[in-house]
Protein backbone atom coordinates (compact mmCIF):
# COMPACT_ATOMS: atom_id res chain seq x y z
CA UNK A 1 0.00 0.00 0.00
CA UNK A 2 2.64 2.50 1.06
CA UNK A 3 4.91 1.46 -1.80
CA UNK A 4 2.05 1.97 -4.27
CA UNK A 5 1.31 5.44 -2.89
CA UNK A 6 4.97 6.42 -3.03
CA UNK A 7 5.23 5.13 -6.60
CA UNK A 8 2.19 7.16 -7.55
CA UNK A 9 3.58 10.28 -5.86
CA UNK A 10 6.90 9.79 -7.62
CA UNK A 11 5.19 9.48 -11.01
CA UNK A 12 3.20 12.63 -10.31
CA UNK A 13 6.38 14.48 -9.30
CA UNK A 14 8.06 13.44 -12.55
CA UNK A 15 5.03 14.53 -14.57
CA UNK A 16 4.89 17.89 -12.79
CA UNK A 17 8.59 18.56 -13.34
CA UNK A 18 8.29 17.70 -17.04
CA UNK A 19 5.29 20.00 -17.42
CA UNK A 20 7.09 22.78 -15.53
CA UNK A 21 10.09 22.43 -17.87
CA UNK A 22 7.69 22.74 -20.79
CA UNK A 23 6.11 25.84 -19.25
CA UNK A 24 9.54 27.38 -18.69
CA UNK A 25 10.34 26.89 -22.38
CA UNK A 26 6.98 28.31 -23.36
CA UNK A 27 7.50 31.43 -21.22
CA UNK A 28 10.92 31.96 -22.73
CA UNK A 29 9.31 31.75 -26.17
CA UNK A 30 6.61 34.17 -25.03
CA UNK A 31 9.32 36.65 -24.02
CA UNK A 32 10.78 36.43 -27.52
CA UNK A 33 7.35 36.80 -29.12
CA UNK A 34 6.66 39.87 -27.01
CA UNK A 35 9.98 41.46 -27.97
CA UNK A 36 9.37 40.78 -31.67
CA UNK A 37 5.80 42.09 -31.54
CA UNK A 38 6.86 45.48 -30.24
CA UNK A 39 8.44 46.96 -33.34
CA UNK A 40 6.88 50.40 -33.21
CA UNK A 41 6.44 53.19 -30.64
CA UNK A 42 3.87 52.41 -27.98
CA UNK A 43 1.41 54.64 -26.19
CA UNK A 44 1.88 55.13 -22.45
CA UNK A 45 -0.87 52.59 -21.78
CA UNK A 46 0.69 50.06 -24.14
CA UNK A 47 4.12 50.65 -22.63
CA UNK A 48 2.69 50.11 -19.16
CA UNK A 49 1.00 46.88 -20.27
CA UNK A 50 4.22 45.72 -21.94
CA UNK A 51 6.19 46.29 -18.74
CA UNK A 52 3.51 44.50 -16.72
CA UNK A 53 3.65 41.47 -19.03
CA UNK A 54 7.45 41.40 -18.98
CA UNK A 55 7.41 41.52 -15.18
CA UNK A 56 4.81 38.75 -15.03
CA UNK A 57 6.86 36.56 -17.35
CA UNK A 58 9.89 37.06 -15.13
CA UNK A 59 7.94 36.39 -11.92
CA UNK A 60 6.35 33.24 -13.34
CA UNK A 61 9.73 31.93 -14.49
CA UNK A 62 10.89 32.30 -10.89
CA UNK A 63 7.72 30.61 -9.63
CA UNK A 64 8.26 27.71 -12.04
CA UNK A 65 11.86 27.34 -10.86
CA UNK A 66 10.86 27.41 -7.19
CA UNK A 67 8.03 24.90 -7.60
CA UNK A 68 10.17 22.59 -9.73
CA UNK A 69 12.83 22.67 -7.03
CA UNK A 70 10.28 21.96 -4.28
CA UNK A 71 8.90 19.01 -6.26
CA UNK A 72 12.41 17.67 -6.78
CA UNK A 73 13.17 17.86 -3.06
CA UNK A 74 9.84 16.20 -2.26
CA UNK A 75 10.62 13.39 -4.69
CA UNK A 76 13.99 12.87 -3.02
CA UNK A 77 12.27 12.68 0.36
CA UNK A 78 9.88 10.07 -1.02
CA UNK A 79 12.82 7.97 -2.17
CA UNK A 80 14.59 8.35 1.17
CA UNK A 81 11.44 7.25 3.01
CA UNK A 82 11.46 4.02 1.03
CA UNK A 83 15.20 3.34 1.00
CA UNK A 84 15.72 4.29 4.63
CA UNK A 85 13.61 1.51 6.13
CA UNK A 86 11.59 -1.38 4.68
CA UNK A 87 8.93 -1.00 7.41
CA UNK A 88 8.65 2.74 7.01
CA UNK A 89 5.41 4.31 8.18
CA UNK A 90 4.26 6.59 5.39
CA UNK A 91 3.92 9.93 7.06
CA UNK A 92 0.67 11.89 6.84
CA UNK A 93 2.91 14.94 6.53
CA UNK A 94 4.27 13.60 3.25
CA UNK A 95 0.78 13.11 1.87
CA UNK A 96 -0.29 16.56 3.04
CA UNK A 97 2.83 18.15 1.56
CA UNK A 98 2.26 16.32 -1.72
CA UNK A 99 -1.30 17.65 -1.80
CA UNK A 100 -0.02 21.15 -1.05
CA UNK A 101 2.46 20.89 -3.93
CA UNK A 102 -0.37 19.77 -6.18
CA UNK A 103 -2.45 22.80 -5.13
CA UNK A 104 0.52 25.07 -5.89
CA UNK A 105 0.98 23.34 -9.23
CA UNK A 106 -2.70 23.84 -10.13
CA UNK A 107 -2.57 27.48 -9.08
CA UNK A 108 0.49 28.07 -11.21
CA UNK A 109 -1.21 26.35 -14.16
CA UNK A 110 -4.13 28.75 -13.81
CA UNK A 111 -1.86 31.79 -13.54
CA UNK A 112 0.10 30.74 -16.61
CA UNK A 113 -3.10 30.27 -18.59
CA UNK A 114 -4.22 33.79 -17.68
CA UNK A 115 -0.80 35.19 -18.57
CA UNK A 116 -0.85 33.37 -21.91
CA UNK A 117 -4.26 34.87 -22.69
CA UNK A 118 -3.19 38.37 -21.61
CA UNK A 119 -0.05 38.22 -23.71
CA UNK A 120 -1.90 36.96 -26.79
CA UNK A 121 -4.50 39.70 -26.39
CA UNK A 122 -1.80 42.36 -26.06
CA UNK A 123 0.09 41.15 -29.13
CA UNK A 124 -3.12 41.10 -31.17
CA UNK A 125 -4.11 44.60 -30.05
CA UNK A 126 -0.78 46.25 -30.85
CA UNK A 127 -0.72 44.80 -34.37
Convert the pLDDT of each residue in 14-38 to its tens digit: 999 999 999 999 999 999 999 998 9
Does residue 16 form part of some domain? yes
pTM of the model: 0.89
The helix (run of H) or strand (run of E) holding residue 122 is: helix 92-126
DSSP string, 59-98: HHHHHHHHHHHHHHHHHHHHHHHHHH-TTPPPPHHHHHHH
Average pLDDT, the chain: 91
Does residue 41 form part of some domain? no
Q: So what's the pLDDT on residue 68?
A: 98
Does residue 43 form part of some domain? no
Does residue 45 form part of some domain? no
Q: So what's the pLDDT on residue 85?
A: 56
Q: How far is CA 15 from the centre of its chain?
A: 12
> What is the per-residue pLDDT across 66-102, written as a single tens digit (0 to 9) for each?
999 999 999 999 888 777 654 445 677 889 999 999 9
Q: So what's the pLDDT on residue 86?
A: 45
Does residue 47 form part of some domain? no
Q: Which domain holds residue 89?
A: 2-33+54-126
Q: Number of H helices and number of E strands within the chain?
A: 3, 0
Q: So what's the pLDDT on residue 58?
A: 98
**In the chain, how many domains are there?**
1
Amino acid sequence: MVQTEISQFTRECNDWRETLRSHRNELQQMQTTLQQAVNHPLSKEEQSELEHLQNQLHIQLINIHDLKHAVKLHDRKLHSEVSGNADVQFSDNISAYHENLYDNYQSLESTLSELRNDLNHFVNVIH
